[in-house]
Structure 1
């Protein structure tokens, strides 16, 4: 099935599901004191910062938040598009910079120049129109379970991962449904170029235990011991050090360098409660930054945030890789189609 057929199939399902719960959600978000926030699953889940942030925000402001787990980042964007004529959400949390072009094309977000931007370095503010405001960032990486894989077998590069000795030892994520999976796809294009990236995926298809739809599923299988290597972030060990007091899970730095990602928050132009929505965005970029850094295991964007010692277990790559937004916008559909053709054979 092609990228476009997948897109419209998901869109049709979301249209039906959105209609079924629209009335209840719309009632809660239409009250003057309540906003609805869509966020990706990992942000809203037991491991994520969402629940604690909502509790703190409500206590500080008196504004109620209806936090909705809306799938992975790509699914979330499709969901908001499907509801364009019957809007539910006020704020969307988790659109990555490599998805920005699709977000702009959908014409969903309103510019908001938050006062908090003064404390965010310019290199993280990827959207000069301020429709998408950065709230955390990091590098994609593979994380290893040191109790399941001996140190002499730790891979040191993307190329090393294709060795047959890693058969059924790697958990990958679908780039069509996950921003983390998409991050790896772009990472391989950055390293190998358009002529060779599919060769890497052909080899990795033999080594992957499975390819999950989202990061939460992959990382859950990883921590359950199903495979010793998982696609995640350089900062993922921070969570385990902070909340589990263990250094069992460690980041692998690769010789080719690592792809970067910036996650953003956006104010929907269809929001009927924009002042409260802006207050939530401001809170996300200030008071919530430490909670985001530790629970989300990502770097905070606000330069005034003091990081705890656990971040010593998040090694920084010597080489950061990225593709410009225009290149991604021009080629992404084709890359996803090519990936699907290779992985479905």
Structure 2
């Protein structure tokens, strides 16, 4: 009899444990809090168009909060990881992924619709891609006749005080450009930055402020994406802003979204990740985020006819970034051109 009672108790404990684990995985609330970067949440960004569609479909109220660039967003969720406020993060890319995994702030998730996705984070299921692009130098063709064709060309004295960059400690494009220089120059990357100094007008904290200065005419070149001129074609009917594919290739950025660990709202978070991969949401990205959507079924608008995809895509391995991330940023800061 005692053995029978003991067996029953054991089964009850096991059942309770399994139920508790399942319940934790499917926790939900009536609201969903999303952290994202500024341009995603801006009036002209994809957030204001995508969020109402999601809210209507799932009956969930979304609270979307912006914290500057993607680097600032990641810093925020790391600061809050012992008591998370947000449920989903948008904008952590292939270059910030190493830091996010090291800090253990994301839950693994494999979403529905992944079979339609053209890009991936190479086996890392903490982030799900939603769009991608290629870093490039965008230039004003009314101010520059002969654009640079390589990173080294940017150091030419004819480009003195002509280039706006972003801080790699706070900006994902800034980090991407730093890693691009490391991919091309290896251990000599700081020497390259020293040669580049005379060409730099300023280094801003984020992409939005840097690109804003560029369009105001403060500089003739800015770090952005090969897709950026499409915005000006679509909304300003101008082709004066152009970009180039460098001879040695351009560095790729794969933007991701993830579920914040221990947020307590897993079910709605999963619904949102799934929704972002649907054709309904992906169709919105080209003319709002001005990146290439990852869903291969999306038909790009005509203004993207001139959006360049380099034949050679540059990217550093995740493990290399993970091992050297802090050292590279510290060395850059010590050699800072700000």
How high is the TM-score relative to the length of structure 2? 0.88
- Contact 1:178-1:214 within 8 A present in 2 as well: yes
Given that residues 128 and 256 in structure 2 are in contact (C-alpha distance below 8 angstroms), is that contact kept between their aligned partners in structure 1?
yes
With over 3 angstroms needed to count, the CA separation of the structure-2 counterparts of 1:31 and 1:279, relative to structure 1, is closer
Q: C-alpha root-mean-square deviation of aligned residues, in Å? A: 1.7
Q: 1:250 aligns with which of 219, 242, 250?
A: 242
Is 1:269 aligned to residue 255 of structure 2?
no
Q: Distance in 2 between matches of 1:55 and 1:228?
A: 38
Structure 2 match to 1:62: 59
Measured against aligned partners, the alpha-carbon deviations of 1:119-157 in whole angstroms (never above 9, x if no partner) come to 113xx22152522100011111000112232x2x31121
The corresponding residue for 1:228 is: 220
Does the CA contact (< 8 Å) of 2:28 and 2:266 recur in 1?
A: no
**SS in structure 1 opposite 2:96?**
helix
Structure whose alpha-carbon radius of gyration is higher: 2
Match of 1:291 among 254, 260, 284: 284
Q: Which residue of 2 aligns with 1:306?
A: 299
Structure 1: any 5+ residue segments left out of the alignment?
Answer: 1-29
Taking the aligned partners of 1:239 and 1:295, their CA distance within structure 2 comes to 8
1:130 pairs with one of 104, 125, 133 = 125
Tell me, yes or no, if the aligned pair for 2:286 and 2:301 is still in contact at 8 Å.
no
Q: Secondary structure at the match of 1:115?
A: coil
Shift of 1:344: 5.1
1:97-108 aligned within 5 A: 97-108=94-105
Is 1:36 the counterpart of 2:51? The answer is no
Counterparts of 2:124 and 2:323, CA distance in 1 = 20
Alignment of 1:1-345 (within 5 A): 32-121=29-118, 124-149=119-144, 151=145, 153-194=146-187, 196-286=188-278, 287-343=280-336
Indicate if the aligned counterparts of 2:28 and 2:264 stay in contact, CA closer than 8 A.
Answer: no
Unaligned runs of 5+ in 2: 1-26
TM-score between the two structures when normalised by the length of structure 1? 0.86
Cα distance in structure 2, aligned partners of 1:82 and 1:267: 16
**8 Å CA contact retained: 1:40, 1:72:** yes
- Equivalent pairs counted in the alignment come to 311
